[in-house]
Each structure stands twice: as structure tokens, then as C-alpha cells.
Amino acid sequence: MIVLLGVAVVILGFALKQNPLLVVAVAGIVTGLLGGLSPQAVIAAFGDGFASSRSVTIFVITLPVIGLLERYGLQQQARNLIGKLTGLTTGRFLTLYLFIRQVTAALGLTNIGGPAQSIRPLVAPMAEGAAERRYGPLPERVREKVKSYSASADTVGVFFGEDIFIAIGSILLITGFVNTTYGTQLEPLSLAIWAIPTAICAFIIHGYRMIALDRWLARELDAAIAKRETVK
Amino acid sequence: MIKSEWFYWLIGAIFLVMAVQMLLDRTNPKRYGTAAFWGLLGLGFIYGTWVVQDKAPPEPLGVAVLVMAVLGGFKLTGKGERNTTTPAERDASARRLGSRLFIPALTIPVVAVLCATLLKGQSLGGELILEKGSETILGLGFGAIVALVIGMFILRERRIATPINEGRSLLEAMGWAMLLPQMLATLGSLFATAGVGEQVGRITENVLPSGQTYVAVAVYCIGMAVFTFVMGNAFAAFPVMTAAIGWPVLIQGAGGDPHVVLAVGMLAGFCGTLTTPMAANFNIVPATLLELKDQYGPIKAQIPTAIPLLACNIVIMAIFAF
């Protein structure tokens, strides 16, 4: 039971808004020591964990080119482009992106999108641009919400698309674990097809919420515009 | 054969170059702490190659990681003044260059796709061109380099320092959050070694009433989501919850189709991933990259999807597995 104290440290730390880096370091040390590891083994675990998880930081390699393009106005151009497509509202655009992300992830192409590669330079500016075309400059709060929804379209899309692809980590983890532990012969493909119903539900639910974002924008910003008019 | 480790060295080298720039940047009030953080990160990326191959002891890297956690956690890192173009200059440049700006940006996914499909499994002189299992990571790396070359050509930018500087500004803006995903991976493995999983599994077994299949379906799915919320990773939750409920109760006891139970169980865990700051690479890193004031913005956008989707998973499993 006592090893669960590490989990409590994490929850308490996040709840008290302590710096997550410190929270995680302390929780790791506490859990390791309570679980019977020597201090040296705990330190080794931090080294091993860092070395074997370097792939999550690989997106850094795209930042120089993304930064260079932004210097020359990539985000502005993304906005200009969306400004010409008058039928595309913020919600419809993000629903389209969600769909593309799910389908490409289902084909195993999980790395073609992501917060660094697509959301910051292209998708978020386009989602903002679509709203600006309609309502003019966006208040800070609205801008934050549009950016957050852009990030969510990417994450939901990749999560509930990738499992349809058979060679993805999570499907191979399932077959690897079950086949070695219980001596079964499960095929990745017959598992992957059962990711399809959830993928469809994810598209319907998150897509609906993107469209609902359009209605929220209309309510928020029409009111703001009306207020501006009366003040004049 | 082109190996993924080479790209880690390249990233390590980029961090080290940036660390030197940071050290010399007098506009950054915390330049020593900042340079130390990114310098250690760069060294760690390179040293890590020998740690994963068991050719070097992990302890020095562990100490470096904890030092980075202290530097980042106690706000000893900062950022310099950003030396870049003004919004007006960007507007003008966007008008001048037009849609040519998209070419390098779209080069990244195109090259990544080509590597993951065409080059995958291809050999040259009896040796695989791309390391097996790393094709998409290598594709992303190649895509970024090709895009940089094309970008500098299209923009007629001659100085390599310009993209490095711009990339550094983006990294400085993200700050310590860069390290969080890797720290959490470590925490996950420490949780596993210390037996946190078995404990949670035991607790879940105890709350489970016997003989009620549909209740067990709900407990399995919700348990996957909650456990994933705590651990930040559905992969950590899966073996534990499956050993506690999925296999003995749902598949062996109630005769459920293992394919449906296990595939949907994992996806129920993903609903938990959508809601947790512990999954920093999916939820916190985007917030810092987008320079959001609210770190939890993406999570707040995802919770109202995660909850009904979890309910969908329970229904899907209940209908199709039995």
C-alpha cells in the first residue's frame, strides 16, 4: 500500500500547482525508495528513463525550419489562405483536420502532424484566421480557446486513428503482452479492426464539439461586436 | 544503415550549440542557468546512446537529469530578448512570398511519408537503408533537414545562424516543459518497479462485485482510464488492469471475445490520456508550443470529449464482446 504514496505526491503536487518537473522528480524518488530501491538505483532509473525516452523529444529537429518560416510570415500566410476560403469556419476547418489526422494515423503516418510540425505553424493560425475573417480581431480569451481546440483536434485525431494501424506500438503491446503471458495467438489485424467503432465515435463526438465551437464563437463575439457598436 | 541514434546526436549537438548561444546572450538575466540546462540536455542526448546499449553507467545521466529538474523547477532558467521580425515585416514578407512559404512546411510530412512507405525495408548493398522500427522517426528527421535546405533556398536566407536562432527562441519559450515528457517516462518505470500497478490492480479487484459481467466491463474501462490518468500512459495501465479484470473476469470468466475486450480496453485508457497533465508530451507541450497562458487549455478542450467517449467504449465492449 505504501508505494501508492508516490501517486499521492503527484496528485497533491499538481493540485497545489507546484512545478511539474519537481513534482515528478520527488514522486519518482519517493516511490523508488519506498519500493525498496537503493538511492543509487533510483538515480540510475532517472538516467535509464531519460536515455530510453529520447524519441518523445525528436520534434525539436523541426523547430529551426519552423522558426525560420515563421520569421518570414508563415503564420500570416496561413491566415491569408484561410481568409480566402469563405465557407470554412473555425469549427469546420478543425473537423476537417481531425478527419485527415485520423485517416493518416490509421495508415501509420503518425509523425506527419503534431504540435510542432502542424499545429503551431499552420493549423492554429488557420483556425484563428477563420474566426478573424468573420469577427475581426479576437479577444485573448477566445484566441486561447481556439488554439486549445486546435491542439485537441491533433491529439484526439492521432489517438483514435493510430490503433487501426496494425504496426503501432499499442496494438503490438497488446499482442505481445497477452500472447506471452497467457499463451494465446492473437493476430494484430483482428485487434486493430476493433479500434474502428471507437474511432468513428471519436470523430462524431469531437467533430460535434468543433461545430459547437462555431456556435460558441458566434455567441461570444456577436455580443462583443454589439457592445462595441452601442458604445460608439 | 542510417540509425535513429544519429539523429539523437544531431539533436544533442543542436542543444549544445544553442547552449553556447544562450551563455553569450546578455539579454537573458538567467543566462548561466539556462545554458547549463540546455547544455546538460544536449550532453544527455549524446551520452544516452551508450546508456541504452549498456555500455555506459546510467548514474551520471541520472544526476544530470536531477540537476536539470532543479534548474527548471526552481526557475533558474530564463529567456533572452527575441531577435526576430516584427508582425508588420512578417505581413509584408507573407504578401511577397505568398504560398511559396508552405512548400518547406509541407516538405516535412511528404518526406516523412516517403521514408515510412517507400524506403522502409529497402536495402542497399545487403544492408537496410533505414534502421528497422525507426522509419517514421528518421523520416521526420530527414523531412526537417530537407525542409530547412529548401526553405533557406526559397527565402534566400544564407546564414545558418538564422534558423538556429529562431529555433532557440521557440525552445527558450518552452523552457523546462521540454524535459517533462522524459521525466514522466522515468516516473512510469519507477512506478512499475516499485509495484504501484499491482497495488492498484488489487484495489480494483476488491471493489468488483462477482458475477456481473456488465459491471465488470465498466470497471475495466473506467479503471483503464483512471489508472492512465494517474500514470500518464495507457501502456502502463494495460498489463495491470488486464491481469486484474480483463483476462480473468471478462475473457475467461464471462467468455468475452479477447480481441474486442483488449482493443477497446486500450482505447478506454486513451480517454484517460486526453485528460491528464501526466501525459505531458500530448497535453502540456502543445500548450507551451502555442504559448498559451493556461497550461491546461488543451486538457480542458479534451475532457468533454473524453468522458462521452469512455462511455462509448463501455457500450461497444458490452455489445460486441459478449
Does residue B163 lie in a domain region?
no
A24 interface with B at CB cutoff 8 Å? yes
Residue of chain A minimizing CA distance to B111: A112
Residues B150 and B266 in one domain: no
Residues B208 and B254 in one domain: yes
- Average pLDDT over all residues of chain A: 88
**CB spacing of A170 vs B234 below 8 angstroms:** yes
Does residue B169 lie in a domain region?
no
A211 interface with B at CB cutoff 8 Å? no
Pick B65's closest partner by Cβ from A50, A111, A201.
Answer: A50
Q: What is the mean pLDDT of residues A118-124?
A: 92
Residues B99 and B214 in one domain: no
Structural domain ending residue among the three candidates B131, B157, B183: B157
Question: Which of residues 181 through 200 in chain B touch A, CB cutoff 8 A?
Answer: 181-191, 193-196, 199-200
How far apart CA A175 and CA A170 sit, in angstroms, is: 9
Chains A, B: CB pairs < 8 Å: 435
Query: How is residue B81 written as a grid cell?
Result: 530578448
Does residue B298 lie in a domain region?
yes
pLDDT at B187: 84
The residues facing B127 across adjacent strands are B124
pLDDT at A231: 64
Residues B144 and B234 in one domain: no
Residue of chain B minimizing CA distance to A169: B235
| Three-state SS at B47 | helix
**Positive or negative torsion for Cα B252, B253, B257, B262:** negative
Does residue B241 lie in a domain region?
yes
- Its pTM stands at 0.86
Q: Which residues of chain A make contact with B74, given a CB cutoff of 8 A?
A: 19, 22
Q: Which residues of chain B make contact with A150, given a CB cutoff of 8 A?
A: 290
Question: Residues A218, A219, A222, CA angle at the centre, nearest 5°?
Answer: 70
Does residue B95 lie in a domain region?
yes
Residues B243 and B152 in one domain: no
Residues B132 and B209 in one domain: no
B119 interface with A at CB cutoff 8 Å? no
Q: Which residues of chain A make contact with B101, given a CB cutoff of 8 A?
A: 69, 72-74, 77
Does residue B74 lie in a domain region?
no
Residue with cell 546499449: B53
Output DSSP code: residue B236.
Answer: H
pLDDT at A81: 85
Closest CA to B277 of A150, A23, A59: A23
Residues B230 and B316 in one domain: yes
Residue of chain A minimizing CA distance to B167: A64
B102 interface with A at CB cutoff 8 Å? yes
Strand ranges (E), chain B? 123-124, 127-128
Residues B205 and B153 in one domain: no
B165 interface with A at CB cutoff 8 Å? yes
Pick B195's closest partner by Cβ from A35, A70, A144.
Answer: A35
**CB spacing of B304 vs A34 below 8 angstroms:** no
Residues B201 and B269 in one domain: yes
B214 interface with A at CB cutoff 8 Å? no
Q: Which residues of chain B make contact with A127, given a CB cutoff of 8 A?
A: none
Question: Which of residues 156 through 185 in chain A touch B, CB cutoff 8 A?
Answer: 156, 159-160, 163, 169-171, 173-174, 177-178, 181-182, 184
Residues B103 and B207 in one domain: no
Q: What is the mean pLDDT of each run of 10 residues along chain B (322 residues)?
A: 87 92 88 93 95 92 94 87 85 88 88 80 78 77 92 90 89 85 82 78 74 88 91 82 87 92 95 92 91 93 97 96 92
Q: What is the mean pLDDT of residues A19-24?
A: 88
Output DSSP code: residue A138.
Answer: P
In Å, how far are A6, A44, A56, B125, B277 from B280, measured between CA atoms?
18, 22, 10, 42, 6
Share of residues in chain A with pLDDT > 90 (%)? 45
B162 interface with A at CB cutoff 8 Å? yes
Structural domain ending residue among the three candidates B157, B187, B210: B157
List, in order, residues 6 or more apart from B140 with CB less than 8 Å away.
A58, A59, A61, A62, A111, A117, B108, B112
Q: At what angle do helices B31-52 and B59-73 cross, to 10 degrees?
A: 150
Q: Which residues of chain B make contact with A182, given a CB cutoff of 8 A?
A: 247
> Which amino acid does the sequence have at B244?
A
A44 interface with B at CB cutoff 8 Å? yes
Does residue B5 lie in a domain region?
no
Pick B113's closest partner by Cβ from A74, A76, A112.
Answer: A112
B318 interface with A at CB cutoff 8 Å? no
**CB spacing of A151 vs B297 below 8 angstroms:** yes
The residues facing B123 across adjacent strands are B128
Per-residue pLDDT reduced to its tens digit, A131-170: 998 898 999 999 999 999 999 999 999 999 988 876 666 7
Residue of chain A minimizing CA distance to B48: A51
Does residue B3 lie in a domain region?
no
**CB spacing of B48 vs A198 below 8 angstroms:** no
**Half-sphere exposure of residue A77, counting CA atoms within 13 Å on the CB side?**
22
Residues B303 and B203 in one domain: yes
| Three-state SS at B142 | helix
Helix, strand, coil % in chain A, rounded to nearest 5: 85, 0, 15
Closest CA to B221 of B181, B197, B250, B188: B250
Residue of chain B minimizing CA distance to A37: B194
Q: Domain range holding B228?
A: 195-320
Question: Which of residues 50 through 79 in chain A touch B, CB cutoff 8 A?
Answer: 50-78
Cβ count near B300 (within 10 Å): 15
DSSP B86-110: -HHHHHHHHHHHGGGGHHHHHHHHH
Number of compact structural domains in chain B: 2
Distance from CA of A230 to the nearest CA of B (A): 30
Q: Work out the burial of residue A166: count CB atoms within 10 Å of its CB; fewer than 13 is exposed, 13-18 middle, 19 or more buried.
A: middle
Residues B265 and B150 in one domain: no
Helix, strand, coil % in chain B, rounded to nearest 5: 75, 0, 20
Distance from CA of A231 to the nearest CA of B (A): 29
Query: How is residue B112 written as a grid cell?
Result: 516523412
**CB spacing of B289 vs A192 below 8 angstroms:** no
Distance from CA of A133 to the nearest CA of B (A): 16
H and E: helices and strands count for chain A:
11, 0
Structural domain ending residue among the three candidates B110, B132, B157: B157
